[in-house]
Amino acid sequence: MSVTERYFFTTALEADRETLRAARALAERYGLPFVPRKKRSLRSLVEERQADGAFVYGADGLRLVDSDGGETRFHPGTAAVRIKRLRAGETDPMVEFARLAAGDRVLDATAGLLHDALVAAYAVGPEGEVVAVEKSLPLYILSDAAVRRPPDHPPAVREALRRIRLVHGDHRAVLEAMPARSVDVVLFDPMFRRPVARSLTSNRPLYRFGAPDSLSPEAYRAALRVARKAVVVKERPEAEVFRRFGLEVLPRKASFTFGRRLVGAAAVPEGERR
């Protein structure tokens, strides 16, 4: 069964004509079947089609209901808190370590539900841009729908969403097709090899629907070619990926941290720059 056959669109139980029209339009946009609800339970629809999940559109927006009955919808999560801190003049470890600045162009190669992409989009400001690549179709759809129609979240979050451009695809293929030095920073947040215990609950959709690919040498080399300033990887502090690629690791007491490789002028110590 292909990925487009494992998911479908439907509506909430109470759906007027406009909701029905919008749900059909979403199904067409993402190339998935539309299945009329007809008062049936979501579980029966999913079981009938032997699907992995159903995208349900209603008055409260878009949600994904999986075969176990769990629900997932787009939410900025900790990104909203991080943006609030940046607005208050505080720092963010990713923003600081990646040397993000106003006007930068960023490629988030493993977008997920856009938490790091949102923070990056806020940091680069109105003149900047974030291109977010997501391989998983379910996560791409939830995120892309949020970008196209920002949910009712704080204004700074909605503005950041509008600066993000989603791409559905494999990050290695996307990177290899890009011109050299075409973005300032490339971000990677691959699926943790050993998940943080509490994140198994809070990030359930990422582990259920996310692409479990590790960062390959080919993708890393492509990122080094594309970046003008830095390639940044997010992982557990003890992750082998930092040693494998010889990354400079940000020392911090947390369940995850960042490693980076500075490139171009950013790699030259300030005292040696002309």
pLDDT, tens digit (0-9, with 9 covering 90-100), for 22-47: 999 999 999 999 999 998 999 999 99
Q: Is the pLDDT of residue 199 over 50?
A: no
pLDDT given at position 2: 67
What is the DSSP code (8-state) at residue 272?
G
CA 30 to chain centre: 17
Percent residues over pLDDT 90 in the chain: 74
What confidence tens digit (pLDDT) does each residue in 74-123 have? Answer: 999 899 999 999 999 999 999 999 999 999 999 999 999 999 999 999 99
pLDDT-derived band at 66, boundaries 50, 70, 90: confident
Q: Over the range 243-271, which residues count as b (16 or more CB within 10 Å of their CB) and which as e?
A: eebebebbeeeeeebbbbbbbeebeeeee
pLDDT given at position 68: 83
Whether pTM > 0.85 for this model: the answer is: yes
- In angstroms, the CA 70 to CA 16 distance is 25
* Averaged pLDDT, 165-174: 96
pLDDT given at position 213: 75
DSSP string, 167-227: EES-HHHHHHHSPTT-EEEEEE-PPPSS--TTHHHHTHHHHHHS------HHHHHHHHHHE
* Averaged pLDDT, 53-71: 91
* Averaged pLDDT, 216-224: 97
* Averaged pLDDT, 7-15: 94
- Residue 55 backbone phi and psi in degrees, to 5: -85, 120
Domains annotated on the chain, with CATH: 3-72 (3.40.50.10480), 78-272 (3.40.50.150)
